[in-house]
Structure 1
Amino acid sequence: FYCCRAAIPEIIKAGGGAIVNIASVAGYVCYPGGTAYAAAKAGVTGLTRALAGEVGRHNIRVNAVAPGPIDTPLARTVLKEMATRDDPQPFAGVIRRWGKPEEIANAVAFLASEQSSYVTGDTISVSGGAFMH
Structure 2
Amino acid sequence: NLKGTFYCCRAAIPEIIKAGGGAIVNIASVAGYVCYPGGTAYAAAKAGVTGLTRALAGEVGRHNIRVNAVAPGPIDTPLARTVLKEMATRDDPQPFAGVIRRWGKPEEIANAVAFLASEQSSYVTGDTISVSGGAFMH
User: Equivalents in 2 of 1:65, 1:51: separation in Å?
Assistant: 15
How much does 1:105 deviate? 0.1
Q: Where do 5+ consecutive residues of structure 2 fail to align?
A: 1-5
Q: Report runs of 4+ in structure 1 exceeding 6 Å deviation.
A: none
How much does 1:2 deviate? 0.3
**For each residue in 1:63-113, what CA deviation from the matched residue of structure 2 results, as whole angstroms up to 9, or x when unmatched?**
000000000000000011110011100000100000000000000000000
How much does 1:54 deviate? 0.1
- What secondary structure does 1:129 align onto? coil
| 1:101 equivalent in structure 2 | 106
Q: How many residues align?
A: 133
User: Equivalents in 2 of 1:31, 1:84: separation in Å?
Assistant: 16
User: Equivalents in 2 of 1:79, 1:36: separation in Å?
Assistant: 18
User: Equivalents in 1 of 2:86, 2:75: separation in Å?
Assistant: 16
How much does 1:57 deviate? 0.1
User: Equivalents in 1 of 2:127, 2:113: separation in Å?
Assistant: 12
User: Equivalents in 1 of 2:91, 2:14: separation in Å?
Assistant: 51
After TM superposition, the score normalised by the length of structure 2 is 0.96
User: Equivalents in 2 of 1:76, 1:51: separation in Å?
Assistant: 33
User: Equivalents in 1 of 2:26, 2:44: separation in Å?
Assistant: 15
User: Equivalents in 1 of 2:75, 2:12: separation in Å?
Assistant: 28
User: Equivalents in 1 of 2:100, 2:133: separation in Å?
Assistant: 5
User: Equivalents in 1 of 2:130, 2:101: separation in Å?
Assistant: 16
Q: Where do 5+ consecutive residues of structure 1 fail to align?
A: none
- What secondary structure does 1:82 align onto? coil
**For each residue in 1:47-70, what CA deviation from the matched residue of structure 2 results, as whole angstroms up to 9, or x when unmatched?**
000000000000000000000000
Q: Percent identity?
A: 100
| 1:41 equivalent in structure 2 | 46
How much does 1:15 deviate? 0.3
How much does 1:117 deviate? 0.1
